[in-house]
Structures are given as structure tokens and as C-alpha cells.
Structure 1
Amino acid sequence: MPALFRFPTTPLRQALLVLVLLLLPVWLLGEHAYLSINDNLDSELVAPYLLPRLGVLLDYRSTAVVPPLMDGLPRNALRSGLSVTMQLFAVLPPLPAYLLHALLVRLVALLGFYALARTHWLRKPEDTELAALLALAWATLPMHTIYGLSVGGQPWVLWAVLNLREGRRRGLSWLTLAVFPLWSMFVYVGPFLLAGIGGLLAWDWWHGRRAHLGAVLLGAGLLLASYLVVEYPLLYSLLIAKQFVSHRVEFDISQLLPISFLNGLKSTLHYLLMGQYLPGLFFRGVILAAVAVALTKCEPATRRALGRQLLPLGIVLVLTAVFCGFYPQLLTALQAYIPLLRTFNIGRFHFLTPLLWFVVLLLNLRALPLGRLQVGLAVAQLILGLAMNTEWTTNLRHLAGVAPATEPSYAAYVAPRLFARVRALLHERTGQEPPAYRVACLGLPPSVAQLNGFYTLDSYQNNYPLRYKHQFRPLIAGELAKNSALRAYFDAWGNRCYLFSAELGRNFRVGAAQRRVVQHWAFDAAAFRRLGGRFVLSAARLARPQESGLRLLAVQADAAAYWQLFVYEVALPSE
């Protein structure tokens, strides 16, 4: 272990303690805590929960499937079992696993930024407080922790690369790069970290700094090799064995977004000033203020040195924002010629920008004299990040008893008692357990049913067979015909392979309090039955279920649940 962490300084201890205290509300609330739903509970929690329980966590055979998802989703379409995230969920129930995982990710993130700052920029003894404050601000950003260290752990990657660039701590730095893929996601950060390292190598080559390029190149090779090992099942199934054709080949972003120069400019400004919500959506205002203050108050010599450091970082951040902002236009122009652009999103360079912005903040605060202004800006960034961390602020509101009605707690969202009643009802009706029949959901994410043991034909998946998408579409073709936006949402994207209703639109969380009624639902019950479906679990009442080829079995409710469920069964004329 580096000497840096053998005897932590008091500011580091304090930062770690404050981080634990800030995360305490979610632990105090337990199952009544709020966990982010979009791209989290509605999708990412399912695979870590199901794979170990079905015994296919490390089963990479081309014949391995996950029966509860889409009537047998290929196992290799899901996350690698070598991930630390997956292994943690394999030994703990989902909620404790999620909470412990989030805590560990943020602790490692804090230690990583502290190590980066103290090793490469804030080396003086009097800089420890600033380094700890910035590390705390970094660790509390609203990043999606379910993606492991994909964002929060990037300081460790930069720490290792800068070490190799300076010719020190080679063994530990190579080890850091080799193990990083075990706790991060290749599709979100792997290629972009490699591109960033490649850019740094090119910069050093151009400026004649070639003494340690081989060490950095070897580090990049270890990072890539480790990713290839960890993500071998996915890469093998898609590129070598061609186990299935991904639904992503039909992605067409031009149908989903208005393509114009003005919209590209708006997106550019948003990426530049706010970022994107998956790696962490936060306003860059405090950092820009720090830049303005440092350039105003510094001595001329310090200002010139700071400007030389900020210029390349600023250019990278602006070019990244422009690339991401105009990525839809680029993709529209090139996707017909380069099919890979449809299936792999090369616009995710924005996953690297939170760290780059924090380096900008660090450099500017370092240039300021020690004092209240320096600490005040760091604290302001900490407060801003916390204020924009909706999971944290919503849990404070839950503790205060003023939580928004549309943001249910984990227990209310998963609603185990409610779904247990539904399961008992269907067992009484059929004499069968969930593996023997298939359901689909309307007005609620299928993940809720999946986390309660049901086998669903619908799901939210980033990667699944195109053939299945085409088999599923007839179920909802009538509703897609009513709404061009929903039609494009499914046909040109389709990650949410859901039962759609034109009347509900993209409201996929119809709470019991909303009392939504769907007047006319053009559902193809015969196609549903051919696909293996038998029951529809709906959070909205169907005014005329017989028009949809369904009959109402029961209405199930529970005071502790976010949902009220209307349980429908297929009722074909032949029956």
C-alpha cells in the first residue's frame, strides 16, 4: 500500500468521516430509502440480481440464456460476471448490495482523487485540507454508482498514467490499470480512456517528452488487455461467434432527435456547462468562477503559467462538448456508411469530462493563496454537487417526510407484498409458479416484476436480439401507429421493449395515486399469446379490456406500494 494511505492525515480522515455521514440518510432509511430509478432500478439492478440466482453468472456458453428476461435473453448480452459489482450482488440481497456498493464506490473515488491531487499537484503539507475537500466534492457528485468505478474511479487511472509518465511507481501503476476494468464498464469508459491516454502520448511525442512513453503505452496495453478478458463474453458473442444480431443495428438517432445546427449548439452548451446525467450532471459555474478569480487575483507570472495549463484542458473540454453536442448530426451523416456507429456509441467522451473539470478546479485553486477564498470555492463546489445529487436530496426529503409523490422509496417501488399477492392469485388461477407462464407490464417498468420473480416478455435492455424486437413489435403495433413519437422511440431505439400506450405516452411509472385509465388500447392479444404471454400486469385501468382481447382477473393494492395493479388475462375468442 502506498505510504500516502498508511497514516492518513487528519483532513483525509475528516473527509472520509463526512462522506460516511452524508451517506448515512440512505442507510438510516433502509428499504424506505430512495434509489435513482431511471437507468438504475428500472434496468441496471436486474442482471446483478438474476444472474447469480439462476446460476449463470459465469456461464458464457453460447447456449446460456436468462429465462425471466424476454423469454430467454442470451446470457452474453448482459454484464460480465467478473465485475466486482456482479460479485457483490452474488453474495448479498439486492438492497444491501446496492447500498454497500455505492458506499465503496464513493470511498474509493474519494481516496483516488486525494491520491491524484497529493501525488501530482497539491504536494505541500499545507495543501492537505484542499486536497481532502476536493476529494470529498468529487466523491459526492451525482454519478451512477451502479456502473462501479467507471466515473468515480477515473482519478486512479489518471494517477497511474501520470506516475508512468514521470517514471515512478511503475509496478503499482500498472497494477492499478490492470484491475480497473474489473470494477468499471468498457462500453461507457473503456475506449474513451484509451483514446485519452493515446492523446496524451501524442501530446508528449509532439513536444519531445519521450523518455517514459513505453511505460505509458504498456499501461494502456494492460488496461485494454484486462478489458478484453473481463468483457470477453460480450465481445466473443457479438464479434466472433455472432451469437445474435443486436437490436442496436436499427438505431437511427435522426428519428429520435431534431437534427439542426441550433439544436447541436444547444446540446454543445449543455454538455459544456452541465454534462450528462449518467456520469454526473452538475453545473460548472463554481469551476468557471474559480477560473475567473484565479486569473484575476494571481500574480502575472502565476497567471501565465496557469494559462498554459488551462489552455489545452479548455480546448479538450470545448472540443468534447462540440463533438457530443453535434454527435447526432455526425451519426446521421455517417451511420449508413459505417454500421458500427449504430451499435456502438462513440459519443460517450462526456464520461471523461467531470474529472477534467475537477482538474481545472484544482489547478485554479492551487494558484490562489491559502485562505478563505480557496477553501470557500472548494466548499461551494461540494455544496453544488450535493444539491444536484437527486438521490441524496430526495432521501433528505424522505427523512423529513416531504418526499415527492412521484419518487417512491425502494420498498414502495419494488412492492414485494403486492407482487406476492399477484403471484398467489395467479397460482390459484393456474396452479403454476412464475417460470411456467409469461407476463408483460403496462405503466410500470418490467424490472419491478422481474425483481419479484416474474418472467416477463418485456424488458429494458441495452443489448438484445433484433429478432426478438421484431417478434415483440406486433403486440404494440396498434399503439405505435397512433403516436409517431412512440413509434420512433421503439423502432429507432427500442432499448425499452415495453408495452406502450399512446394515451400514457412515455409515462412508465403510473402510480396508484394517479388513477390513470386507458380508454382504448390497441393490443394484439393473439400475438402476445403466440410469444408465450398469458397475463398483463397494468398500473393503469383499461376501460375496455375486451377490446384488447383481455379480461380482468383482479385489482390488487397495498398501502405500502407505489402501484395499484390491474391483473388481466388473455381471453381469445377461441377460448
Structure 2
Amino acid sequence: MPLASRLRTPLAGAVLGLLLFLLPFLLLQERSYVLIDDNLDAELSVPFLLTRHHVALDYRPTAVVEPIMNGLPRNALRPGLSATVLLFGLLDPLPAYLMHEALVRLLALLGLYLLLRRHFLREPDQRRLAAGLALAWAVLPAYTIYGLTVLGQPWLLLAFLNLRRGPGRWTDWLLVALFPLWSMFVFIGPVAGAAGAALLLLDWAQGRGVAWRAAGALALLTAMYLVVEYPLVYSLLVAKQFVPHRLEFDLGKLGKPGLGAGLVSAGRYFFTGQYHASLVSRAVMLLAVAAAWKPLGRAGNQRRLLLGLLAVLAAVALFCGFYPQFIELVQQALPPLRTFNLSRFHFLTPLLWFVVLALSLRALPAGGLRTGLVALQLALGLGMNSEWTNNLRELAGRAAPTEPNYQAYVAPALFGQVQAGIREQTGLGPAAYRVACLGFPPAVAQLNGFYTLDSYQNNYPVTYKHQFRPLIAGELAKDDFLRTYFDAWGNRCYLFSAELGKDFRVAAFQRRVVQDFAFDAVAFRKLGGRFVLSAARLAAPARSGLVARGEFSARTAYWHLYLYEAQSAIQRGAPAGARP
């Protein structure tokens, strides 16, 4: 019987469930809630700017993205050979994101379903179980902007296991070759390769020989990542285009020291995971293990497999939990280790937990308990998916005031007013001046066409970090936490205010006022800056070397913006505090 016929009914139900999950996005459109932290405040602007400024595939050492950090080297950003970048090149940011989300989650559902049916839930009466688990997997709270990095892992594992157990098919090789085109190498490439190699070594140690086809698949995966990540490899290892700011990472200073802090962190990794890789309770998985423990006793190999997977998950949690302390011990002897986050093995744990869940449920008889556990896992995933829950609140007219929808957060009408006001006063378009942002992420300004000196980037030249620091040195001196946050990490190369702390989402309704902003306008001007856009009012801008040039609001916007101009850039005769 054709595969499509065998899978049609349960798969159709799972796909229908996924469509219902995605329906709020379709109904809300620009009023959709899009995950903000490390997503809308950072990631969405990158593929948008790469494509709009026609540098997505421009890997020359001289290529830069002008709107970011005075011209961020293009090769510091994600590669252009990416399905994500392609979508953002075809569509505006929000439609691209929503289409991307739908495709990633659909592929996630299909991938886990096929993986379970081929390797873990192969019996005819387990089709519905596989479909239910696939739907629960597809709705997990994951960063879909990373493509198939997390939710697409079942496809990679399916191909690897097929090639490990037999000759496989040409489609398995194709899956391995295509995976790097829609995933993030820095998050999943090295750890997936290490995990695959470890499994092959285990086979060899147990006398099963080496699955050379699977080893070849790992080699193909590595080769394809080298092709896709050419800009990163070339800029850092070949041309040595710039020294990354990551060399100054000191993660030990950012975490709490001591055995207790490490154990608490490890417990979080084990019981809930890490938010980039899907933050969701493992309670249902552990309940399923407990329920299946006695039945598994009749199949010793299955119990040993389950114990082995749980041991791996516990080891990963311990390593990740104590990683800041570990890296603090070795970073002086091996400085390059600062630049790599070796704790990213946690990106593999969501899929491993679902394999644990599938093996446990397989040992249980069909019926209410098994169905109830799948339903509970689905409910947990939905309940902890902030995009879904906030969109339901938006549809019900009960949106959380601190969780703005896309239209309110990006606020194109508001930023259009600011651009028009600057053009009226100076005659200049956005490309002719540089701004910095206070109280809101620079990515918002970038999505609206501004060129910002500040940004949230995982990789940029350390020389720029040193050039930017004098702008905020006065504020960093007021607050030990912010000073460590910038000096020991620095991905958020922002304008900081000790009075605002880490509040990078100062809403209009908050009416925040910064009484003393220790800002170095001279350093700002030297770096090319002219305007400061602030979501908080400065009580005494003159003390910061700034003059008020406008105040802007819009009914649908989350922000209320204040425009300030560095004094040396002010045209003589312009009245201080003039408003457009």
C-alpha cells in the first residue's frame, strides 16, 4: 500500500490541528503577536536588511550592511544561501515571518511523524499516536526564525538512522544536503555532527562495526555547512576580516558562582529546557516514563535504551548548567573558547525528550492513559507557546499591555512621522544621518528604514565595541550590572541608562523620564551619530549635549518617541525644542 494511503487519515487530522493553531495569525495579520525577545528585537531585521540592501550573496570583504553599526561587515551576519533569507527577499518582513513560521511547523509535523513511523512507532495501530505526537512537536514554543534548526531535526535524524541501519535511499542523502540550507550552523551544526559521531563510535565499541554510509552523511552535512557558511568561514579563518567582539566574552561573570547555582541551572535545563531551543515542561515525558517503567521491565533492551537516553539528557543538563563556571576556568588558557558556546548541545534535547516520550508511550497499551498523556503534552506545548497564547488574548480583546502586537511594536506610522520631521528640519533622508536608540531596540528603527549606530548582534568587530563604549561609559559607571552586561558580553551594543536598567521596552503608557543621562555627545558625533531616538523623556538633555527636536506619538504605536539632536550637528538659528 502506498505510503500516502497508509498515513492519510491520522496525518490529515494532525495537519488540520496545525492549521487551527496557525489560524490566529491569519485572522490578526498585522495585529499578530510575534515573539519579541531575541526575535523581533534582533533576528527579523537581519534577513530584511540583507535582501533590501542587495548584499545577501555579496561575500566580498568590503561588503557592509550600512544601516547596522555604521556599516557592519556583511560576513558577520547569517549566510545568504538560506530559505529564510529567500522568503524575506520575496515578501515584506511580517508576511515573510508568518509564511516561514507556517512552513517550518508543517515540516516539523511531517518530519516527526515519518521519523516515528519508520523507527519508533511502526505498528499499524500506532499511527494515531504518531500523529498526535507530531502535532505536539509542531506547536512547541520554538524560535522558527532559526528555520529547521530545532523543529526540523526529525528529518535529519530520519536520514541518519536510515543510512545507519541500511543502504538508505537517495532521498536520505538529499535531506542531509538540504538541511544546512534552512538551519543555523552555529546552533546545530557542530552539536549534530558530534552527536552523530558519538553514536557511530558507540556502534563500533559494541562490535557492530562502522556504518560508513551514516559516516558519509556526516561528512556531507559538514561539507554543505562549509558551503552555506562560506562568509563566516572566510571572514574569520581565511581573510581574518575582523576580530569578533566575542573574544571578550566572560560568561563566568554573567552567571552566579557556586555548586548550588550550577545545580539550579542544570535542573532548569533538564526539566524545562532552554528558551531558544524550546522552553516547555518535561513533566509529561517523566510521567510517561514512570507509567511505562513496569511494562518496560519485560523488555530489558527497551528499558536500557530509555535509561541511556535519560542519562544523556541529564549529562547535557549538567554540562550546560555548569558551563559558565567551566569556561571561566579554561578561558585564560584557551582564549578562543570564549567565542564558542559549547553548551549548545541543549538544542538536541527537545527531540531526545520526544523520543523518550514515544518509547514510553509505545510500552503502554492503547487507551485512555496513552491518549491522555499525548493530549497533556499538546496542551503544555500550547500553553507555554507565548505567540499562540498572546494571539488568543489579542483575538479576545484582552492583550497584555506589555506584550505589543507587531503593528504596535514596529509602529511604521510613528517612525514615518519621525523621518518626516527630520526631513522637514534638515532636508535629509535616513541614509544621510545616523541615529541611536534609548529605551527600545534599534532593530525596530532598522525595520523602519533608519541607520543605527547601535544594534543587537551575535557577531561584530571588537573594535566597534571599543568605539561605542565611550558613548555609554558614564551610565555603565553608575551600574555594576550593566557594566558587566556590556563588557563581559556586549551582544546588545545599546544606549544604556542606569535608571532604565535592562528595560528595552519602554512603553508610551509608562511615561518614563530619565533624570540624568550620562551620555557622551562628543564621542557620539565622532562615531557619526546625529540623532538620539528615545522612548523615555530626558529631563535635562542639555547636560547630555543634546537638544530636543521633536515629540511623536501614534494611536496604534506602543512607543512615544522623543527626538534629540547632538549639539554640534544643530544648524544655527534652529529653535531649541522645535517640534515638527
Aligned letter for 1:246? P
Deviation of residue 361 (structure 1)? 0.2
1:291 pairs, out of 289, 303, 308, with: 289
Give 3-state SS (helix, strand or coil) of 1:242's partner: coil
Give 3-state SS (helix, strand or coil) of 1:43's partner: coil
1:447 is aligned to 2:443 = yes
Rounded to whole Å, the distance in 1 between the matches of 2:244 and 2:425 is: 37
Rounded to whole Å, the distance in 2 between the matches of 1:436 and 1:6 is: 60
Give 3-state SS (helix, strand or coil) of 1:286's partner: helix
Percent identity (aligned): 60
Conserved? CA contact 2:266–2:322, under 8 Å: yes
Rounded to whole Å, the distance in 1 between the matches of 2:361 and 2:495 is: 51
Give 3-state SS (helix, strand or coil) of 1:534's partner: strand
Conserved? CA contact 2:434–2:530, under 8 Å: yes
Aligned to 1:458: 454
Aligned to 1:552: 548
Rounded to whole Å, the distance in 1 between the matches of 2:92 and 2:45 is: 12
Deviations along 1:450-476, one digit per CA (max 9) or x if unpaired, are 000000000000000000000000000
2:320 pairs, out of 294, 317, 324, with: 324
Rounded to whole Å, the distance in 2 between the matches of 1:7 and 1:370 is: 19
Aligned CA distance change for structure 1 residues 167 and 453 (closer, same or farther; 3 Å): same
Aligned letter for 1:23? L
Aligned CA distance change for structure 1 residues 24 and 228 (closer, same or farther; 3 Å): same
Rounded to whole Å, the distance in 2 between the matches of 1:508 and 1:10 is: 47
Rounded to whole Å, the distance in 2 between the matches of 1:573 and 1:456 is: 16
Aligned to 2:98: 99
Aligned to 1:345: 341
Deviation of residue 308 (structure 1)? 1.4
Conserved? CA contact 2:55–2:74, under 8 Å: yes
Deviation of residue 6 (structure 1)? 6.6
Aligned to 2:351: 355
Give 3-state SS (helix, strand or coil) of 1:9's partner: helix
Aligned to 1:59: 58
Write out aligned runs for 1:329-408 (5 A): 329-408=325-404
Rounded to whole Å, the distance in 2 between the matches of 1:293 and 1:465 is: 53
Rounded to whole Å, the distance in 2 between the matches of 1:180 and 1:307 is: 32
1:301 pairs, out of 270, 280, 298, with: 298
Deviation of residue 165 (structure 1)? 1.2
Give 3-state SS (helix, strand or coil) of 2:314's partner: helix
Moved more, 369-378 or 480-489: 369-378
Deviation of residue 340 (structure 1)? 2.0
TM-score by length of 2: 0.97
Moved more, 160-169 or 57-66: 160-169
Aligned letter for 1:161? F
Deviation of residue 300 (structure 1)? 4.0
Give 3-state SS (helix, strand or coil) of 2:449's partner: coil
1:116 is aligned to 2:138 = no
Deviations along 1:194-243, one digit per CA (max 9) or x if unpaired, are 01101100110011112x61111000001000000000111110111000
Aligned to 1:33: 32
1:432 is aligned to 2:432 = no
1:70 is aligned to 2:69 = yes
The number of residues matched between the two structures is 571
Conserved? CA contact 1:249–1:343, under 8 Å: yes
Aligned letter for 1:10? T
RMSD: 1.3
Deviations along 1:337-369, one digit per CA (max 9) or x if unpaired, are 112211111110000000000000000000111
Aligned to 2:269: 271
Write out aligned runs for 1:3-22 (5 A): 4-5=3-4, 8-22=7-21
Conserved? CA contact 2:296–2:303, under 8 Å: no
1:561 is aligned to 2:560 = no
Moved more, 417-426 or 334-343: 334-343
Deviation of residue 169 (structure 1)? 2.3
Aligned letter for 1:279? A
Rounded to whole Å, the distance in 2 between the matches of 1:172 and 1:432 is: 54
Deviation of residue 409 (structure 1)? 0.5
Deviations along 1:503-555, one digit per CA (max 9) or x if unpaired, are 00000000000000000000000110110000000000000001101111111
Rounded to whole Å, the distance in 1 between the matches of 2:569 and 2:19 is: 60
Give 3-state SS (helix, strand or coil) of 1:281's partner: coil
Deviation of residue 299 (structure 1)? 6.6
Aligned letter for 1:62? P
Rounded to whole Å, the distance in 2 between the matches of 1:257 and 1:549 is: 36
Moved more, 314-323 or 252-261: 252-261
Conserved? CA contact 1:9–1:128, under 8 Å: no
1:259 is aligned to 2:233 = no
Rounded to whole Å, the distance in 2 between the matches of 1:354 and 1:573 is: 52
Aligned letter for 2:9? T
Aligned letter for 2:361? L
Deviation of residue 572 (structure 1)? 4.0
Aligned to 1:83: 82
Conserved? CA contact 1:4–1:115, under 8 Å: no
Aligned letter for 2:94? L
Deviation of residue 171 (structure 1)? 1.9
Aligned letter for 1:31? E
Deviation of residue 403 (structure 1)? 1.0
Aligned letter for 2:542? Q
Aligned to 2:575: none
Rounded to whole Å, the distance in 2 between the matches of 1:572 and 1:104 is: 50
Aligned to 2:470: 474
Aligned to 1:281: 279
Aligned letter for 2:467? Q
Aligned to 2:126: 127
Give 3-state SS (helix, strand or coil) of 2:425's partner: helix
Deviation of residue 170 (structure 1)? 3.5
Runs of 5+ consecutive residues of structure 2 not aligned to the other structure: 573-580
Conserved? CA contact 1:528–1:534, under 8 Å: yes
1:511 is aligned to 2:507 = yes
Give 3-state SS (helix, strand or coil) of 1:20's partner: helix
Give 3-state SS (helix, strand or coil) of 2:342's partner: coil
Rounded to whole Å, the distance in 2 between the matches of 1:382 and 1:430 is: 55
Conserved? CA contact 2:111–2:155, under 8 Å: yes
Aligned to 2:219: 221
Aligned letter for 1:272? F
Give 3-state SS (helix, strand or coil) of 2:519's partner: coil
Rounded to whole Å, the distance in 1 between the matches of 2:206 and 2:569 is: 77
Aligned CA distance change for structure 1 residues 3 and 530 (closer, same or farther; 3 Å): farther
Deviation of residue 157 (structure 1)? 1.0
Deviation of residue 84 (structure 1)? 0.5
Conserved? CA contact 1:151–1:352, under 8 Å: yes
Aligned letter for 1:466? V
1:240 pairs, out of 208, 220, 238, with: 238
Aligned letter for 2:228? V
Deviation of residue 573 (structure 1)? 10
Aligned CA distance change for structure 1 residues 308 and 505 (closer, same or farther; 3 Å): same
Rounded to whole Å, the distance in 2 between the matches of 1:353 and 1:3 is: 33
Rounded to whole Å, the distance in 2 between the matches of 1:373 and 1:104 is: 32
Aligned CA distance change for structure 1 residues 376 and 455 (closer, same or farther; 3 Å): same
Conserved? CA contact 2:141–2:278, under 8 Å: yes
Rounded to whole Å, the distance in 1 between the matches of 2:200 and 2:296 is: 32
TM-score by length of 1: 0.98
Give 3-state SS (helix, strand or coil) of 1:566's partner: strand
Deviation of residue 306 (structure 1)? 2.8
Deviation of residue 4 (structure 1)? 3.2
Give 3-state SS (helix, strand or coil) of 1:23's partner: helix
Conserved? CA contact 1:306–1:364, under 8 Å: no
Give 3-state SS (helix, strand or coil) of 1:191's partner: helix
Give 3-state SS (helix, strand or coil) of 2:298's partner: helix
Conserved? CA contact 1:110–1:138, under 8 Å: yes
Aligned letter for 1:545? P
